[in-house]
């Protein structure tokens, strides 16, 4: 039997509001080391808000985001990038001449690199 891989990213009961509008209510997910995970859903389902919150671009109202055993909810986006979390949004603000891997590497660069 294979040894289970450790949880690298854990999101527990994540809540995000934009003013009086609740954008996320109780989102939870785990990503194990070596996994590739996709968020799929209709427009307005909260996919982008979930990713923006994990990346530090939106502030969580509640819940926990744990990366590599350390809480990162509310941490500055530049610090989150330096931990190794980056995103490459679909279809927008990408470099079409680069591969997906190169776009992701570029997204992981900080101004001090």
**pTM of the predicted protein model:** 0.79
Q: Measured between alpha carbons, how far is 34 from 14 in angstroms, rounded to an integer?
A: 23
Query: Binning pLDDT at 50, 70 and 90, where does residue 31 land?
Result: very high
Question: What number is the average pLDDT over the span 59-88?
Answer: 91
Q: In CATH, what number does 7-84 get?
A: 3.40.50.300
Lowest mean pLDDT among 20-24, 53-57, 74-78: 74-78
Mean pLDDT, the chain, integer: 88
The C-alpha angle with vertex 58 and arms to 95 and 26, in degrees rounded to 5, equals 115
**pLDDT given at position 106:** 79
pLDDT in tens, 46-56: 999 999 999 99
């Amino acid at each position: 039997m294979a040894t289970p891989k450790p949880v690298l990213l854990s999101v527990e009961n994540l809540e995000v509001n934009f003013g009086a509008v609740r954008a996320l209510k109780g989102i939870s997910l785990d990503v194990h080391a070596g996994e590739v995970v996709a968020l799929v859903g209709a427009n307005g389902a909260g996919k982008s808000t979930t990713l923006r919150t994990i990346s530090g671009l939106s502030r969580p109202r509640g819940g926990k985001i744990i990366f590599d055993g350390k809480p990162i909810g509310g941490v500055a986006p530049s610090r989150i990038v330096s931990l190794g979390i980056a995103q490459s949004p679909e279809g927008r603000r990408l470099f079409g001449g680069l591969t997906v891997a190169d776009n992701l590497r570029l997204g992981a660069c900080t101004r001090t690199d």
